[in-house]
């Protein structure tokens, strides 16, 4: 049974049973790591990957071109990228989505366009993927929980999708609303977040060349646990801004109230730009742990805007980034 929690306690402060169990598994595999020289994280993920085999089969994605984005970066392994995920609709433990997301049905898939647009419409995922040539872009991704990955995303510029939506001059913000179907999502229950999960960007942020709508990674169709069939990727912001399994895009004149802002306004701001000088109330943001580097690897320094300051800092000229976090 579930106990009611005080309203001032956010879901992220509670240790679910599955997290407790996974930590016990981690300790077990840490012992294996010391004996074999394999990192504890890698040893645990090997076990997770085996457990995740019943999920959707991997599918190659064709018709995309490689770019120079992140060409010198060391990639996080496919196994880590696909077995260490935040996707609360499939469980609050990082390992849950890889085991549970096989219930998500990604075809047929349509995205409703509404709000401050010339005409409300519905776009099929197949048509969205034809709006612009698909590209592989290697981006650093930083989680608010102070861990990071380097992922070879495949997608199209978000600006191309927005142009196809035909927003009016009243559109100042773009809201992304995700699927909320209890029949497909086993952890979609009250008390975790205010469903459906939604996120938002200012229109100029959404139109920035770095913002993409991803449909794949590592040369393959986007796995369910990573947000299939399409998810937002905004590399200079914390990962929770990148909404998964999007079913609606709404253009608004006012800033939307997003899922994590509603859940914990003192901890999660609308802008959510990676800012190492502004700590999360419960931990430092000055450093991060790169997933796959091993539990004993030294933490690395977190860069402003996740290292993309040269490209995006001008979007926030004159803003107090400790206030607009």
Question: Chain-wide mean pLDDT for the chain?
Answer: 88
Take residue 201 and report the two structure tokens written for it. 């960007």
Residue predicted with more confidence, 29 or 66: 66
Residue 4 in any domain: the answer is no
Q: What percent of the chain has pLDDT over 90?
A: 80
Calculate mean pLDDT across residues 243-255: 98
Query: Phi then psi for 152, rounded to 5 degrees?
Result: -85, 85
Q: How many domains does the chain divide into?
A: 2
Residues 91 and 240 in one domain: yes
Residues 38 and 67 in one domain: no
Query: Phi then psi for 228, rounded to 5 degrees?
Result: -55, 155
Residue 6 in any domain: the answer is no
Measured CA distances, 15 to 18, 92, 259, 325 (Å):
8, 9, 20, 26
Residues 84 and 144 in one domain: yes
Residue predicted with more confidence, 297 or 168: 168
Residues 240 and 175 in one domain: yes
Query: What is d(CA 156, CA 194) in angstroms, rounded to the nearest whole number?
Result: 29
Model confidence pLDDT, tens digit, residues 39-75: 444 445 545 444 444 557 899 999 999 999 999 999 9
161 — pLDDT class (breaks 50, 70, 90): very high
What confidence score (pLDDT) does residue 294 get?
A: 87
Lowest mean pLDDT across 41-45, 235-239, 271-275: 41-45
CA quadruple 277, 205, 244, 168: dihedral positive or negative?
positive
Residues 38 and 82 in one domain: no
Residue 220 in any domain: the answer is yes
Say whether pLDDT at 83 is over 80.
yes
Residues 96 and 161 in one domain: yes
Residues 45 and 68 in one domain: no
Query: What is d(CA 33, CA 87) in angstroms, rounded to the nearest whole number?
Result: 27
What confidence score (pLDDT) does residue 157 get?
A: 98
Pair type for strands 287-290 and 147-157: parallel
Residues 78 and 144 in one domain: yes
Residues 260 and 281 in one domain: yes
Q: Name the nearest CA neighbour of 3 among 12, 22, 16.
A: 16
What angle separates helix 40-51 from helix 17-36, to the nearest 10 degrees? 120
Residue 202 in any domain: the answer is yes
Q: Name the nearest CA neighbour of 193 among 91, 298, 96, 72.
A: 91
Residue 166 in any domain: the answer is yes
Query: What is d(CA 178, CA 294) in angstroms, rounded to the nearest whole number?
Result: 33
Residue 322 in any domain: the answer is no
Q: What is the CATH number of the domain that holds 179?
A: 3.90.420.10
291 — pLDDT class (breaks 50, 70, 90): very high
Residue 10 in any domain: the answer is no
Calculate mean pLDDT across residues 275-303: 95
Query: What is d(CA 242, CA 155) in angstroms, rounded to the nearest whole number?
Result: 13
Residues 293 and 167 in one domain: yes
What confidence score (pLDDT) does residue 47 get?
A: 53
Lowest mean pLDDT across 1-15, 180-194, 220-234, 243-257: 1-15
What confidence score (pLDDT) does residue 31 get?
A: 45
Calculate mean pLDDT across residues 12-25: 42
Calculate mean pLDDT across residues 196-221: 98
Residue 325 in any domain: the answer is no
Question: Which residue's structure tokens are 């590399």?
Answer: 235
Query: What is d(CA 116, CA 173) in angstroms, rounded to the nearest whole number?
Result: 9
Tell me which residue range forms the domain holding 172.
Answer: 60-316
Say whether pLDDT at 155 is over 90.
yes
Model confidence pLDDT, tens digit, residues 117-150: 999 999 999 999 999 999 999 999 999 999 999 9
295 — pLDDT class (breaks 50, 70, 90): confident
Residues 33 and 78 in one domain: no
Say whether pLDDT at 187 is over 60.
yes
Residues 259 and 277 in one domain: yes
Q: Name the nearest CA neighbour of 22 among 79, 86, 88, 94.
A: 94
Q: What percent of the chain has pLDDT over 70?
A: 83
């Amino acid at each position: 049974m579930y106990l009611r929690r005080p309203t001032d306690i956010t879901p992220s402060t509670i240790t679910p049973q599955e997290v407790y169990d996974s930590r016990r598994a981690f300790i077990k595999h840490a012992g294996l790591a010391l004996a074999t020289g394999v990192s504890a994280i890698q040893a645990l993920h090997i076990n997770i990957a085996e457990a995740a085999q019943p999920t959707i089969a991997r599918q190659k994605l064709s018709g995309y071109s490689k770019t120079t984005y992140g060409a010198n970066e060391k990639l996080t392994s496919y196994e880590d990228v696909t077995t260490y995920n935040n996707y609360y609709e499939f469980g609050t433990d990082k390992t849950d989505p890889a085991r549970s997301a096989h219930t998500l049905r990604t075809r047929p898939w349509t995205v409703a366009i509404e709000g401050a647009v010339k005409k409300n419409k519905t776009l099929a995922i197949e048509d969205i993927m034809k709006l612009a040539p698909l590209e592989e872009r290697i981006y650093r991704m930083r989680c608010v929980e102070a861990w990071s990955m380097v992922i070879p995303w495949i997608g199209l510029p978000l600006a191309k999708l927005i142009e196809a939506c035909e927003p009016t001059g009243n559109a100042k913000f773009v809201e992304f609303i995700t699927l909320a179907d209890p029949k497909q999502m086993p952890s979609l229950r009250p008390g975790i977040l205010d469903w459906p999960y939604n996120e938002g960007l200012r229109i100029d942020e959404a139109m920035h060349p770095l913002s993409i709508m991803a449909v794949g990674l590592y040369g393959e169709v986007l796995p369910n646990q990573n947000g299939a069939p399409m998810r937002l990727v905004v590399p200079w912001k914390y990962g929770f801004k990148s909404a998964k399994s999007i079913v609606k895009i709404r253009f608004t004149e006012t800033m939307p109230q997003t899922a994590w802002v509603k859940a914990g306004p003192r901890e999660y701001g609308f802008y959510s730009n990676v800012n190492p000088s502004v700590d999360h109330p419960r931990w430092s943001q000055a450093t991060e742990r790169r997933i796959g580097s091993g539990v004993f690897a030294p933490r690395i320094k977190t860069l402003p805007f996740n290292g993309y300051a040269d490209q995006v800092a001008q979007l926030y000229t004159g803003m107090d980034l400790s206030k607009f976090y």
